[in-house]
Chain A
Amino acid sequence: MTYIVKPKLHHPSLACNAAGFTRRNYEGAVSTLCAGCGHDSISAAIIQACWELDIEPHRVAKLSGIGCSSKTPTYFLGQSHGFNTVHGRMPSVLTGANLANKELLYLGVSGDGDSASIGIGQFVHAIRRGVNMVYIVENNGVYGLTKGQFSATADLGSKSKKGVTNTDNPLDMVGLALQLGATFVARGFSGDKPQLVPLIKAAIKHKGAAFLDVISPCVAFNNHPGSTKSYDYVREHNEAANRLDFIDGREEITIDYAAGELIDVTQHDGNVIRLRKLAANYSPHDRVAAMTYLHERQAKGEVVTGLLYVDADADDLHGHFNTTSTPLNRLTAKDLNPGAAALAKINAALR
Chain B
Amino acid sequence: MKPIEAVNDFVVKFANVNGSGSASANELFAKSILRMGVPVSPRNIFPSNIQGLPTWYEVRVTERGWLGRRGGIDLMVAMNPQTWDADVKEIEPGGYLFYDNTRPLPASKFRDDINVIGMPLTAICNRTYADARQRQLFKNIMYIGALSLLLGIDPAEIEKLFGEQYKGKEKLLDSNVKALHLGRDYAQEHLPGDFGLHVKRANAVGDRIFVEGNAAAALGCIYGGATVCAWYPITPSSSLAEAFQKYCMKYRVDAGTNPDEPGANKFAVVQAEDEIASIGMVVGAGWNGARAFTTTSGPGISLMNEFIGLAYFAEIPVTIIDVQRGGPSTGMPTRTQQSDVLACAYASHGDTKHVLLFPEDPHECFEFSAQALDLADRLQTPIFVLTDLDIGMNQRLCAPFAWDDARELDRGKVMTAEELEAGKEFGRYKDVDGDGIPWRTYPATHPKRGSFFTRGTSKNPEARYSERGDDYIYNMQRLLKKFDTAKALVPQPVPREAAHKTRHGAIYFGSTSPAMSEAIAALEADGLHLDTLRLRAFPFPDMVADFIAAHDKVFVVEQNRDAQLRSLIVNEFGIDPAKLVPVLHYDGTPITARFIARSISEEIQARNVVRIDSGKTARGQS
A79 & B401 in contact (Cβ 8 Å cutoff): no
**Closest chain A residue to B230 by CB distance?**
A96
Q: Is B307's beta carbon under 8 Å from chain A?
A: yes
A329/B274 contact (C-beta < 8 A), A86-B306, A100-B228, A343-B401 known: no
Is A80 at the interface (CB under 8 A from chain B)? yes
Known contacts: A85-B283, A322-B265, A324-B261. The answer to whether A329 contacts B219 by CB under 8 A is no
Which of chain A's residues have a CB closer than 8 A to the CB of B230?
92, 96
CB nearest neighbor in B for A71: B465
* Residues of chain A contacted by B285 (CB below 8 angstroms): 96-97, 99-100, 328-329
Q: B159 to chain A: closest CB distance in Å?
A: 17
7 residue pairs from A and B, CB less than 8 Å apart: A84-B454, A85-B283, A97-B443, A101-B443, A121-B277, A321-B268, A322-B265
B258 in contact with A81 (CB, 8 Å): no
Please, which residue of chain B has its CB at the minimum distance from the CB of A342? B251
Give Cα A204 to B292, complex, Å: 27
Q: Using Cβ atoms and an 8 Å threshold, which residues of chain B touch A338?
A: 222-223, 251
Interface pair A328/B280, CB less than 8 Å apart:
no
Other-chain contact of B225, A78, A124, A333 (Cβ < 8 Å): A333
**Beyond A92-B230, A328-B227, A347-B207, 13 extra complex contacts between A and B, CB < 8 Å:** A73-B453, A82-B451, A84-B456, A86-B306, A93-B280, A96-B228, A100-B285, A104-B288, A329-B227, A331-B225, A336-B222, A338-B223, A351-B210
Q: Which residues of A contact B254 (CB under 8 A)?
A: 324
Complex alpha-carbon distance, A301 and B594, angstroms: 75
Are B288 and A100 in touch, CB under 8 angstroms? yes
Given A86-B306, A93-B281, A100-B288, residue A347 in contact with residue B401 (CB < 8 A) = yes
Known: A85-B280, A101-B288, A125-B273. Contact between A333 and B227, CB under 8 A?
Answer: no
**Does A254 interact with chain B (Cβ within 8 Å)?**
no
Residue contact A61 to B444, C-beta cutoff 8 Å: yes
Of A86, A97, A101, A337, which is within 8 A of B307 by CB? A86
**Does A83 reach chain B (CB closer than 8 Å)?**
yes
**Which B186-245 residues sit within 8 Å CB-CB of chain A?**
205, 207-211, 219, 222-223, 225, 227-228, 230
| Inter-chain contact A328/B443, CB cutoff 8 Å | no
Does B252 interact with chain A (Cβ within 8 Å)?
yes
Partner of B400, one of A58, A323, A347: A347
B285-296 vs A, Cβ < 8 Å mask (1 yes, 0 no)? 111111010000
Judge whether A346 is part of the interface by a CB distance below 8 angstroms: yes
Which A52-102 residues have C-beta < 8 A from chain B? 56-59, 61, 63, 73-74, 78-86, 89, 91-101
A325 within 8 Å of B (CB atoms): yes
Write the nearest CB–CB distance from A232 to chain B, whole angstroms.
34
Q: Mark B379-406, 1 if CB is under 8 A from A, else 0.
A: 0000000000000000000001111110
Residues 212-248 (chain A) with a chain B CB within 8 angstroms: none
Query: Are B454 and A96 in touch, CB under 8 angstroms?
Result: no
Q: Does A253 contact B (CB under 8 A)?
A: no
Size category of the binding interface on chain A: 35 or more
A-B CB pair tally, cutoff 8 Å: 224
Chain A residues with CB under 8 A of B211: 350
Determine the distance from Cα of A251 to Cα of B592 in the docked complex, in whole angstroms: 75
Complex alpha-carbon distance, A61 and B451, angstroms: 10
Contact residues in B for A83 (Cβ distance below 8 Å)? 284, 287, 453-455
0/1 interface trace, chain A 132-159, chain B, CB 8 Å (1 if under): 0000000000000000000000000000
Contact of B228 (CB < 8 Å), options: A122, A124, A328, A335: A328
Which listed residue (B205, B404, B443) contacts A81, Cβ 8 A? B443
User: How many Å lie between the Cα of A248 and that of B292 in the bound state?
Assistant: 36
Nearest opposing residue in chain B for A103, CB measure? B444
How does the 8 Å CB contact mask read for B244-266 relative to A, with 1 for contact and 0 for none?
00000001101000101101111
**1/0 contact string of B443-465 vs chain A (CB within 8 Å):** 11111100111111100000001
Q: Which one of B251, B290, B445, B456 lies within 8 Å of A85 (CB-CB)? A: B456
Q: Does B33 contact A (CB under 8 A)?
A: no
On whether the beta carbons of B444 and A58 are closer than 8 Å, the reply is yes
Verify if A340 is at the interface (C-beta below 8 Å from B). yes
* CB contact between B453 and one of A82, A86, A99, A335 (< 8 Å): that residue: A82
B residues at A contact (CB < 8 Å): 205, 207-211, 219, 222-223, 225, 227-228, 230, 251-252, 254, 258, 260-261, 263-268, 270, 272-274, 276-290, 292, 306-307, 310, 400-405, 407-409, 441-448, 451-457, 465
Contact A325 B283 (CB under 8 A): no
0/1 interface trace, chain A 110-136, chain B, CB 8 Å (1 if under): 000000000001101100010000000
Closest B residue, CB atoms, query A81: B443
What is the minimal beta-carbon distance from B31 to any residue of chain A, in angstroms? 9
Q: B268 touches which one: A57, A328, A337, A340 (CB < 8 A)?
A: A328
Cβ distance A337 to chain B, nearest Cβ, rounded Å: 6
Contact assessment for A329 and B288 in the assembled complex, using a CB-CB cutoff below 8 Å = yes
Q: Report yes or no: B306 in contact with A81, Cβ–Cβ below 8 A.
A: no
Q: A89 touching B251 by the CB < 8 A rule?
A: no
Which residues of B have CB within 8 Å of A73? 453
Contact A98 B209 (CB under 8 A): no
Q: Are A322 and B307 in contact (CB under 8 A)?
A: no
Q: Which residues of chain A come closer than 8 Å to B283, judged between CB atoms? A: 85, 92-93, 96
* Residue from the list A92, A97, A346 in contact with B401, Cβ < 8 A: A346
User: Contact partner of A324 among B264, B282, B286, B453, CB < 8 A?
Assistant: B264
Q: Please indicate which of the listed interface residues B254, B258, B279, B447 has the most CB atoms of chain A within 10 Å of its own CB.
A: B447
> Any chain B CB within 8 A of the CB of A332?
yes
Pairwise interchain contact A82-B454, C-beta atoms closer than 8 A: yes
Least CB distance, B434 to chain A, in whole angstroms:
26
For residue B465, which residues in chain A have a CB less than 8 angstroms away from its CB?
A: 74
Q: Is A339 an interface residue (CB 8 A)?
A: yes
Closest residue of B by beta carbon distance from A328: B227
Task: State the Cβ distance, A191 to closest chain B Cβ, in Å.
Answer: 28
Whether B270 lies near A95 (C-beta < 8 A) is yes
A81 in contact with B307 (CB, 8 Å): no
A84 cross-chain contacts in B, Cβ below 8 A: 453-457
Contact B447 A56 (CB under 8 A): yes
Q: Which residues of B contact A121 (CB under 8 A)?
A: 273-274, 277
Q: How far is the CB of B202 from chain A (nearest CB, A)?
A: 15
Answer whether A79 and B451 are a contact pair too, CB < 8 Å, given A85-B283, A343-B401: yes
Instruction: Report whether A331 and B228 are in contact in the complex, using a CB–CB cutoff of 8 Å.
Output: no
Max count, chain A CB within 10 A of own CB: residue among B266, B279, B408? B266
Q: Do residues B264 and A122 form an inter-chain contact, with CB atoms below 8 A?
A: no
- Contact A350 B210, beta carbon cutoff 8 Å: yes
Bound-complex Cα distance A96 to B277 (A) = 9
Q: How many angstroms between the C-alpha atoms of A94 and B266 in the bound complex?
A: 19
Which residues from B are CB-within-8-Å of A124?
273
- Given A100-B228, A322-B263, decide whether A58 and B447 contact each other with a Cβ distance below 8 A: yes
In this complex, which of A61, A121, A351 has the most chain B Cβ atoms within 10 angstroms of its Cβ?
A: A351
A120 to B456, CA, bound (A): 21
Chain B residues whose C-beta falls within 8 Å of the C-beta of A322 in the assembled complex: 263-265
A residues less than 8 Å from B286 (CB atoms):
96, 100
Closest to B452 in A: A81
